Amino acid sequence: MTLSIYAIGGGQMVEAILRAAFKNKYAQPQQVTVTDISQQRVTYLTDTYHVQALTNLDVTALKEAQIILLGVRPQDDWAELVQAVADSQTQAQIISIVAGVTLEQLAVSAGTDKLPITRIIPNTLTDTGFGYSGATLNQFADKVIVDPFLSSFGKVDYIPEAQIDIYTGYGVAGPNYIYNFYIALTNAGVLSGLSRKQANAVALENLKGAAKMLEESGKHPYELLDINNSAGGVGIAAQHELDASDFAAGVQNAVLAAVTRTTELGGH
């Protein structure tokens, strides 16, 4: 099912979402309208994706849209924009990616608590088909309409709104932890004497293979470690050093800091 989409704010995240929706055949460019206050972005989006892009709100298109994607930043005029959406008398499902702005804040700004609004924290791996977005629907939102759209740019976890900040710091920021681990590991390979190219290739293969093992074996990672760490062997020598380091606490503290920062930025 392909629906007409109106995106307000045509920045990096909206572009990534639309690119995935096009790639996965959820939407076609002629069904998409984007408003961005930057003429440069409007020109870029028109030239690159052949969507209808403009610097002002097209009230008719807004009214006729089936999905409205609110894609501006928390410091932008999201309150005015959501009010304009409500004023257009649209029947669309409204999907907000504005970080930290709650369903209640959106309803208050809209001047009505009857709008179907879904608040999401979108994943940032949209180009790969991997990654979870966290989503909370208000009581008027229609999951049957919303889910195919959200699923067009990754997997979706429907969560209580109170978990959105946790989801942001743990899940959406998640690839950052993996990139950091990958860098640490490849540097270790180079430190040990492999070329950068070899170290990168081996680490990436191990990363993908280990993920597949976790997914397909059904075994707990401790079981997989038990298999690899034989008595007095190589694996257990490395394990001992890792256990004595602040590796686990470092990762856990980083996630907690990301969750705390998300909450601070949302002002709640």
Q: Which residues contribute to the site for ligand NAP (CB under 6 A)? A: 8-14, 35-38, 41, 71-74, 76-77, 81, 97-99, 121-122, 124, 172
Residue 76 C-beta: closest distance to ligand NAP, Å: 4
Rounded Cα gap, residues 92 and 70, in angstroms = 12
Phi, then psi, of 202 in degrees rounded to 5: -65, -45
User: Quick one: which of 32, 74, 63, 51 has its CA closest to 42?
Assistant: 51
Residue 42 C-beta: closest distance to ligand NAP, Å: 9
96 vs 138 by CB, closer to ligand NAP = 96
Rounded Cα gap, residues 264 and 74, in angstroms = 12
Residue 10 C-beta: closest distance to ligand NAP, Å: 6
Cβ atoms within 10 Å of 169's Cβ, excluding its own: 20
Helix (H, G, I), strand (E, B) or coil at 264: helix
99 vs 137 by CB, closer to ligand NAP = 99
75 vs 89 by CB, closer to ligand NAP = 75
53 vs 141 by CB, closer to ligand NAP = 53
The residue sitting closest to ligand NAP, measured at its beta carbon, is 11
What is the DSSP secondary-structure string of 139-179? TT--HHHHHHHHHTTSEEEE--GGGHHHHIIIIISHHHHHH
83 vs 229 by CB, closer to ligand NAP = 83
127 vs 223 by CB, closer to ligand NAP = 127
Cβ burial, residue 81 (10 Å; 0-12/13-18/19+): buried
Residues whose CB falls within 8 Å of the CB of residue 38, separated by 6 or more in sequence, listed in order: 10, 55
Residue 124 C-beta: closest distance to ligand NAP, Å: 4
